Structure 1
């Protein structure tokens, strides 16, 4: 396969991780509405700062106040997200051209994978627009976060597919692959719960370790108090006890996720003889324990922005390490994912 094509996929993977990190920073710094319109900022391609530009803003957005720092955070995120979308379009075009070039004999070019990425990017763009136009509606914000993680995972999976491991022999038993997929699903649920915590600004409402300081306020019924019917969702609209309950469920499922991954990983590690798969399990364990340590440290230090950002990035890395493990197990049994 063309070396330039592989490098382009690798560059897209790196950029996608950066975009996910910038998205997390935008949420955590409360800059999601730094620009109240989309795709520009107050009708401009950059943040307005000249007197004539501010006059236009005052005319078209009479109730808005330009906050340059927040606006630039939001726009930088959009610039990089747009560049990522362009790279995925290029990947799709290259895949079409290589498939049509019969002399290249490139049967491994992931055309359907590229098309799926194109669909995801278009939908993610719509979610980005709705995030702003619907004033940070939590369902949309959580969907936008999950969309970013999905695009990142698909790009990394594409990179793995074009670098098919050559030293993994076929295996008759598929149970390890199925176990790894189950653990991956449990992890995705945990990431979604984390997105729900972030979308509802619920992180600071559950302080204290190992349980919330005001755990007596926890209630299953309050979890069904959904954030709907508001004109603006910035900083959250749900009652204190609902946000505490949301955060505590996230902590509980984190324990379920950790135990599931440790059990599945240990089972795979003990049974496998392939050093590449054993190394993949060790990588998953290292990222998992780092993530658990970060989670506890964040609560102990009262949710500092940078540590919380690293917690989001580490969640993405844990997802990618699990995707890689699933891929290697699929390759070992001769399947593809």
Structure 2
């Protein structure tokens, strides 16, 4: 019964953006739905970071509900008992609500992607042009199913770092794929033949960013943000003592080595130092790439966005160290990475699409009204 209640909660939340899209006096409703879903997925990724940073991932220690119910309201007695038994533990009413709100919105995103899939297949059957294959939203639906499975394992495997990091990367893969779909159903700026020469460079930038995000996720899931307490050195040294073997051993419990011992500080330093050092490479490359691409009219806005967000990421990353990891700054750092991913996806789409023979998308679709 509680699964039905959970499903209805996700449906009711999704009805808000669905209603907004459908009441708009516009013919391009599918395009608007894709963009709204992309924006809400960005919000979900940021709220997922907030959930992780507030240590609320086990606020409800089962899945998909909370103590077998659809709401912390209903599970109040169990939550109160768990908190009373271990006040410093992962369970509290506040953490339970944070975790369940994250799950509710994830279900709402699922409903929106189901709506996209249905619209795309109906349009295919009725031969209405949406300028996108229905297999795109179908793939998104499959991806969100895999993401949901890793969300469950995140809870059942007690925040095991490799599971949590994979969950984060899958969330960003969902966001990036939605961003590509949004770019695909949006009118392409005027074709500039020189842009096509930058396809490989843009793809390298995206690959570097994904690797850096994975390193950042590994830092966050291992709580290694404060392993280095100064900048630009790390604990007063340019190359401090580090234990890469234990720090980057993937299959282990949170805070433990693969042998079951408590993870040493040197391992956490290795995780932090690697993310910080690789950031220099990524920042230098993305700044150089954006400065080169901003001279093209079709790439100017996303390239300028990359420059702005890279500056934000540097500022928030440094502030996390200097200010001892304040929650708003840490959430902003997570959100900046997600926005940077979207911008790189748009740049990759436009460089890949800027070639002769690609049909321009008209201003309005013939999507169902």
Fold shared by both chains (TM-score > 0.5) = yes
In the superposition, relative to structure 1, how do residues 120 and 331 fare at CA in structure 2: closer, same or farther (>3 Å)?
same
Which one of 64, 68, 84 corresponds to residue 43 of structure 1? 68
Deviation at 1:333, TM superposition (A): 2.3
Q: Aligned Cα RMSD in Å?
A: 2.7
Which one of 309, 312, 315 corresponds to residue 331 of structure 2? 309
> 2:157 matched to 1:134?
yes
Alignment match, 2:115 = 90
**Does the 8 Å CA contact 1:110/1:158 hold for their aligned counterparts?**
no
Alignment match, 1:218 = 242
Alignment match, 2:351 = 329
Deviation at 1:57, TM superposition (A): 8.8
Deviation at 1:84, TM superposition (A): 0.3
Instruction: Extract structure 1 runs of 4+ deviating beyond 6 A.
Output: 55-59, 62-65, 230-233
1:205 partner SS: coil
**Does the 8 Å CA contact 1:225/1:238 hold for their aligned counterparts?**
no
Which one of 79, 91, 94 corresponds to residue 69 of structure 1? 94
Write the distance in 1 (CA, Å) between the matches of 2:246 and 2:254.
18
In the superposition, relative to structure 1, how do residues 24 and 301 fare at CA in structure 2: closer, same or farther (>3 Å)?
same
Which string of whole-angstrom CA distances, capped at 9 and with x for unpartnered residues, describes residues 61-91 of structure 1?
Answer: x999851000000000000000001111111
In the superposition, relative to structure 1, how do residues 90 and 206 fare at CA in structure 2: closer, same or farther (>3 Å)?
same
Write the distance in 2 (CA, Å) between the matches of 1:231 and 1:290.
30
Alignment match, 2:22 = none
2:302 partner SS: helix
In the superposition, relative to structure 1, how do residues 70 and 55 fare at CA in structure 2: closer, same or farther (>3 Å)?
closer
5+ residue gaps, structure 2 = 1-25, 360-369
5+ residue gaps, structure 1 = none
Deviation at 1:175, TM superposition (A): 2.9
The TM-score normalised by the length of structure 2 is 0.81
Deviation at 1:242, TM superposition (A): 0.5
Write the distance in 2 (CA, Å) between the matches of 1:276 and 1:25.
34
Which one of 147, 161, 175 corresponds to residue 184 of structure 2? 161
Alignment match, 1:292 = 314
Which string of whole-angstrom CA distances, capped at 9 and with x for unpartnered residues, describes residues 75-132 of structure 1?
Answer: 0000000000111111111110001112x2x161331211210111000000000000
Deviation at 1:331, TM superposition (A): 2.3
Deviation at 1:326, TM superposition (A): 1.3
> Size of the alignment, in residue pairs?
324
1:217 partner SS: coil
User: Relative contact order (C-alpha < 8 Å, sep 6+): which is higher?
Assistant: 2
Alignment match, 2:59 = 34
Which one of 137, 146, 171 corresponds to residue 123 of structure 1? 146
User: Which stretch of structure 1 is more off in the superposition, 245-254 or 156-165?
Assistant: 156-165
Which string of whole-angstrom CA distances, capped at 9 and with x for unpartnered residues, describes residues 119-169 of structure 1?
Answer: 11000000000000000011110011011111111112111111131x422
**Does the 8 Å CA contact 2:161/2:253 hold for their aligned counterparts?**
no
Which string of whole-angstrom CA distances, capped at 9 and with x for unpartnered residues, describes residues 214-247 of structure 1?
Answer: 64322444434445167999xx953211111101
Return the structure number with greater helix share. Answer: 1
Which string of whole-angstrom CA distances, capped at 9 and with x for unpartnered residues, describes residues 1-55 of structure 1?
Answer: 95221221122112101111110000000000000000000111001467xx626
Deviation at 1:279, TM superposition (A): 2.8
